[in-house]
Amino acid sequence: FGIRILKSETYFMDYVPTSVNYWEVLAIAAVCILIALLAAVLPGIKAAYINPATELSGK
């Protein structure tokens, strides 16, 4: 990105070599969204099969 965060007087390297691969960023974002959806949907599916009246009565 052209940003210098390290001083060349202090450090041997005055830059951090970076390379942004947009396919990797897209893949990571897709996996994160998939994990978030699974974390939200799976407990909901499990809760859909529970009868609240039976559970609250203690039987």
Residue 43 pLDDT more than 90? yes
Domain chopping of the chain, boundaries? 22-57
Give the distance, in angstroms, between the CA of residue 13 and the centroid of all CA atoms in the same chain: 31
Spell out the alpha helix ranges (H) of the chain: 22-48, 52-57
pTM of the model: 0.57
Does 28 score more than 70 pLDDT?
yes
Instruction: Give the mean pLDDT of 21-36.
Output: 97
Asked if the model's pLDDT at residue 38 lies above 70, the reply is: yes
**pLDDT at residue 55, rounded to an integer:** 83
What is the percent of the chain with per-residue pLDDT over 70, rounded to a whole number?
88
